[in-house]
Structure 1
Amino acid sequence: MKHKTYFLLTCFVSLFLLGQPAFAQRTRKTRAQLEAEKRRNLEKIAETRKALETARAKKEVTVGNIKALKEQISSQEEQISLMEQDIELIDMEMQDIISAKGTLENRLNKLQQEYAAMLYAASKHSGQLNKLSFLFSASSFNELLMRYKYLQQYTENRKAQVLQMNKVTALLRERQTNLEGKRTDKKKIITAKVVETKNLEVLKTKQTLMVGELSKKEKDLRREIEATRQSVTKLDNLIAGIVSREISRKNKETELKQDNDAKLKNIAPAKKNNKAIIELDATETTLGRSFGASRARLPWPVQKGFISDRFGVKEHPVLHGVMINNNGIDIQTPSNATVRAVYAGVVKDITSIPGLGKVVAIQHGDYFTVYANLSQVFAAVGQKINTKETIGTAGESGGATEINFQIWHNTARLNPENWLAPK
């Protein structure tokens, strides 16, 4: 029965070796995701740092500068968090390697013991004569064939044992090298984390100083907040007016069609049933559905930039207790940056609003995208726009080059951050 034992052991070790790529693949996937997040966050830190360097050159503290600094602090904290996740991941990888290494060592030890037993058994019955005696002492021809096959398999198993021991030994060396590499990586990340934590403290100190300096201009800031609120109200009314006009236009088209159909059929006209949402034709329905399916995949309205103010209600970056609201997101971008449409559609309105610069509204079926605080506009009302087509250039707001970007579904405001693709 020994040959069956050797055969099963060989199969087990082979299956173990074949299973190694699955372990590596799982680790690579997790590692790749983490590295991608770290890379994106570092790019974001670089963008905010560049914006702050530009502001420093102007030697003026503004709300835009503080928003950029706040975003850099957030990115710095995220980087430290990613480093901590990296250390945890390395610990898990090291544990997996140690566990696999221990299993391999056990396998190798058992293989060596079994191989030693095979050699000892072979030495007791060595020589061609003994093998022939073993064969020809069979009681029948069938038994002779079985003994011959057994000797063949016994020889092959010995060779397989040596091969498997060599493979396991090589794999052990590889695991040991990987383990040493992970330990080195962990030391580097711990050192880098200390540096980044010090940088974070420097940024927070700078933020405190800037907020303190700007808070001295409280009256100016409150006037600016009130002016912004008025501008936002005008923009809300603008978008609501566009949607209302589209609803009215579609309702009139529907009524006219119903009246014409009634005349042709010589029946009384249908009762008016004005809808509160835009009724779309087949082309517009397809466009709206396509836009709706693009959640988390839309290109950014600027090629370079970072979100400096997020959607919804939050506290003012300088004045404590003062709440401000954003119906979209603010995106800081380099000076004279071009602004582009995030999706194909039709330009429905272009206007100027004090405090928000030039504003472009584009319809995508029953969705609308709004691009505010543009210094120039390169589009016209009624123009069909393609995805990523340039519609203008970014203007200045709060001492920084910044645009406000909004997404509406009929009259409902949506958080654009959930719709833009990760950078």
Structure 2
Amino acid sequence: MTKNKHIFRVILTMLLCFTTLAFSQNRKLELETRRLELRREIQKMNALQAENKSKAKSELSLIEDFNYKISVLNNLIKITNQQANYLSREINANQKKISALRDELKALKEDYAAMIVKSYKSKNKQSRVMFLLSSNDFKQAYKRLQYIKQYTNHQRQQGETIKAKTQELQQTNQDLLKQRAEKEKLIADNRTTQKTLESTRQQHEVLMRSIKKNINKYTAQIRAKQQEAARIDREIEKIIKAAIVLSNKRAGKSTSSTNFALTPEEKILASNFLANKGKLPWPVESGIVKVRYGTQPHPINRSLTIKSNGVRIVTEKGEQVRAVFNGEVIGVITLKNVNPLVMVRHGNYITTYKNLSKVYVKEGDKVTTKQLIGEVATNKASGETILSFVVSKESTTQDPSTWIYKM
């Protein structure tokens, strides 16, 4: 019973070791994937800035750029530090493992040497044949034969164990050298990132000092932009409410309802849209999120807030806009001094694509996932190409980053 308990404890310990190792490897892979994503974001931002270098960006836009870059650089440093810490723990574990393996090998070799000496002395004093012939009976001879076989097997197994442990020690030493090299590289990368962060912060501070001298002028510009955004949002809300009224009217229900009256086909569409939450494609093939969803303090005047009903994606000039899921176009809005926007309904969910220079669809059109519906407009003065993207359920907006894959 005691032996069974011991075996059970050994198996349980092995399982825990394997589980911990698997978790550690998965976590390392996640961190490395995220680190590479952040580096690509920075490269993309630098490329977009280089593309628009000849354009005179507004101070408001430049501050947004700096804030975005500082945020990404901070995240990159944080992720890289986590990776370095993981490697430190692995290095320490491997150093302990190497020490334990060396002690184990020493004991195994000493035991093996003792067996060889004993076997040699045994051969000198009495041959195996004489050992067997001197048995009192057949039963004793059989047992002595089994003992000789077991002893020989044990010697061989001991030799194989020493060989395996030696190989394991060599491999662990190689792993240790590789981990140390990886850690040194991460530390060097972090030093470079830290320098870039400090330079970006200094540029940000210089620009902020300049802005604060004319804070009233910039506050007026911010308020004007917010009023324009609110006007667009009101138009979007009107179209959604009109679509809800129409759906209820067709279903013979109260037109005062704030929810869509869905047909069986629309219910399936809405269910499929929800089932793909977190897996929907980006509305543009390439881009980075410059402004995220939600209410946040304005980077220039902290007494003002940014109410972002969606996300703003910086992309390349001439970038095509795609529908993120199957649906029906319920609105193509063109307001004075505002670039067109397209609204697509997916059952009781709606996606909105703002700031288009070209529109390829019209109201009532059926669209499919990744179908091109327009082209993102490029600001002639700043050279920036930004798509505003919104997801809503009925009239309630939702965070697009929870719907779009890896946003």
Distance 1:34 1:106, change over 3 A: same
Cross-structure match for 1:309: 291
Question: Which one of 344, 352, 360 corresponds to residue 378 of structure 1?
Answer: 360
Q: Is 1:92 paired with 2:114?
A: no
**Aligned counterparts of 1:18 and 1:234: Cα–Cα separation in 2:** 60
CA distance in 2, matches of 1:386, 1:95: 53
Q: What is the rounded CA distance, in whole Å, between the counterparts of 1:327 and 1:72 in structure 2?
A: 22
Aligned to 1:159: 156
- Alignment check: 8 A CA contact 1:294 1:419 kept: yes
1:266 corresponds to which residue?
Answer: none
Instruction: Tell me if structure 2 keeps the 8 A contact 1:353–1:359.
Output: no
User: Match of 1:408?
Assistant: 392
1:229 matched residue in structure 2: 226
Q: Is the 8 A contact 2:329 2:343 kept in 1?
A: yes
Q: Give structure 1 stretches of 5+ with no counterpart.
A: 1-12, 257-271
> Aligned pair in 2 of structure 1 residues 97, 396: CA closer, same or farther (>3 Å)?
same
Matching residue's letter, 2:376: A
Q: CA deviation at 1:375?
A: 1.3
Q: Tell me by how many angstroms 1:202 deviates.
A: 0.6
Displacement, 1:121? 2.1
Percent of pairs with identical residues: 25
Partner of 1:322: 304
In the alignment, structure 1 residue 125 sits paired with structure 2 residue 109: no
User: Does 2:167 match 1:170?
Assistant: yes
What amino acid is aligned across from residue 33 of structure 2 in structure 1? A
Runs of 4+ in 1 over 4 A off after TM superposition: 15-27, 214-220
Letter in 1 for 2:348: D
Out of 34, 42, 51, the residue aligned to residue 37 of structure 1 is 34
**TM-score when normalising by structure 2:** 0.88
Q: Residues 325 and 354 (structure 1 numbering): CA distance in 2 closer, same or farther, change over 3 Å?
A: farther
| 1:285 paired residue among 267, 272, 278 | 267
Counterpart of 1:56 in 2: which secondary structure?
A: coil
Q: CA deviation at 1:38?
A: 1.1
* Aligned-residue offset at 1:129: 4.8
| Structure 2: gaps spanning 5 or more residues | 1-9
SS of the aligned residue for 1:403 comes to: strand
Instruction: Name the aligned partner's letter for residue 384 of structure 1.
Output: K
Deviations 1:380-410 (A, max 9, x none): 1111111111111112458321111100011
Equivalent residue letter for 1:404: S
Q: Which amino acid aligns with 2:71?
A: S
| Structure 1 pair 163–21 and aligned structure 2 pair: CA distance change class (3 A) | farther
Q: Is the counterpart of residue 49 in structure 1 residue 46 in structure 2?
A: yes
Give yes or no for contact 2:245–2:255 (8 Å, CA) kept in 1.
Answer: no
Query: CA contact under 8 A between 1:231 and 1:355: conserved in structure 2?
Result: no
CA distance 1:22–1:247, change in 2 (3 Å): closer
Contact kept in structure 2, 1:48 and 1:69, CA below 8 Å = no
Supply the distance in 2 between the matched residues of 1:139 and 1:249 (Cα, whole angstroms): 106
Contact (CA 8 Å) 1:362, 1:370: kept in 2 or not?
Answer: yes
Instruction: Report matched runs for 1:58-97 at 5 Å.
Output: 58-97=55-94
Give 3-state SS (helix, strand or coil) of 2:276's partner: coil
How far apart, CA to CA, are the structure 1 residues paired with 2:137 and 2:13? Answer: 40
Aligned equivalents of 1:17, 1:142: Cα separation in 2: 41
- Counting only pairs closer than 5 Å after superposition, residues 176-195 of structure 1 correspond to structure 2 as 176-195=173-192
2:143 aligned with 1:136:
no
Instruction: Give 1:66 shift.
Output: 2.4
* Equivalent in 330, 333, 339 of residue 321 of structure 2: 339
Distance apart, 1:55 and its partner CA: 3.6
Cα deviation, residue 236, structure 1: 2.7
Task: Note the C-alpha offset of 1:168.
Answer: 0.8
Structure 2 CA distance, aligned partners of 1:182 and 1:60? 44
Offset, 1:106? 2.6
TM-score with structure 1 setting the length: 0.85
Question: 1:115-158, CA deviations, whole angstroms, 9 ceiling, x for partnerless residues?
Answer: 12212321221159531232233333233222212211211221
Task: Report how many aligned residue pairs link the two structures.
Answer: 397
Contact kept, 8 Å, 1:227 with 1:355, in 2: the verdict is: no
* Corresponding residue of 2:5: none
Give the letter for the 1:374 counterpart.
L
Give the CA deviation at 1:294.
1.8
Say which is worse superposed, 21-30 or 295-304, in terms of deviation: 21-30
Residues 335, 88 of structure 1: CA spacing in aligned structure 2 closer, same or farther, 3 A cutoff?
Answer: same
